[in-house]
A and B are shown apart, each in its own frame.
Chain A
Amino acid sequence: MEVFLQTLVAGILKGGLYGLIGIGMTLIMGVMGIINLAHGQLMMVGMYITFVCFHYLGIDPYFALLVSMPALFLLGVAIQKYTLNPLIEVESILPENQVLMTVGIGMVLTEVARFIFSSDYKSVQTSYSSSSFFIGEISFSLALTIAFFIAVAFTLFMFWFLLRTDLGRSIRATAQDKDAALLMGVNAQRITILTFGIGSALVAAAGTLLMPIYYLFPDIGGPFTRKAFVITILGGLGSTVGAIFGGLTLGLAEAFGATYIGMAFDDMIGLVIFILVLIFLPSGFKRITKV
């Protein structure tokens, strides 16, 4: 029973963070209709900012959120404005050249990080990095629990933002029908730029929250891009609620898989679920949640 509960806790805590990673990607997917394959790399940049803040300026990772998120928002805005938007207007051989562009951006970010920081592994050692508290026999990692609640808070805030504010409604309108939104006077170009910025800021938050418990090196982006992709597909492309379910599902599947099947199959379990969803529930959890 203890093993079961501990696995459940581990899965949910990890799932919350995965959800935060997924939401950024799903927002971009919804509005622009492209998969952002530099998502994990943007997270990596956010993590490096956190690292620099902590190491050189002595800023605690949780306060570094105030630095990493705006910074990544600006980076996202710049990427969308100067590299992705110009591509929409160009006649191209492939309709997916924006996606290809994101792959390139991802590589550039990785190599720039390697150029500045070398391939060294970096980590942020805070006083709470490896501390934990116990409820009964179940151990909760302090940093991961805090990360989980901040992730939940961000997710709730995103809901409020998308459902209640003008800007949020414009984003949803653009996602649902770009032409109609344009006719209603929504500046779609501005919306795409803002969305990419918000998406980047969210994944930066996930990176920053992960920093006290994880580690960092320039190639860390790739695996997280893959995870974000799986989460987005699980949740249904463009669905915010779906991304949360997708994140939780992946977190739980990985944790239970690790306990009851074997941790060597960590990645495989996530991808098997991914395939099953594609076969039996092609539009992801969106079909069930309808949001």
Chain B
Amino acid sequence: MKVQYKPKRNLLGTIFQVEILQGMALTLRKLFSPPITRQYPDEKPPMYAGFRGQHALVRDPVTQDSKCIGCMRCVTVCPSRCIRIRCQQDAKGKQKVESYSIEVLRCVFCGFCVEVCPVGAVTMTELFEYASYDRESLLFDKETLLKNWDRFLEESAHDENYVNPFWRPRGVPEASLAASQRMKVPADWTIEGQFIGTSLRQPQQNGAITHTEADHA
């Protein structure tokens, strides 16, 4: 980067303090420009796809229960170890999830659990206002997580199919994705169509991944 220096101030500029006047002109211009303040409790910020908000367990519309199969992948991948699952095998040898809890106060909101879930059971909603005065209410058990999902569906415009395509793990071939993650996504959400910044794009153009040009052509 080349540093751009201002031309040296001449005597006339010093006498009339031109730089101060320029600064004053800027603030005066800004006085009449609309403020960028968002009056928060009245005006909510816009939500973008893949926002990592409150956790929820997707309620299966058929069984009215969680989709979780107790594979323990989320427990394993969780860097802050805030997920706890207890499973039991019933008489037929089928695994049944007894309890599922997320300790939100320890969660770092990395979203790994959502990415790794093979059935799309755990997800993160767009809700972010759930501050509380005690710790107990922030330890979400299975029932609370299911209720979080119901509340999210009720309050947002999303429907049952919201398990965010944004959570597709990157760079994994379509065939090796879990079935629930093989959903259609817009072109700019795929790894090829995504803008990742100039420094990362360079090797792509040199031949490592050439889908971008092919797609555009």
Partners in one complex: no
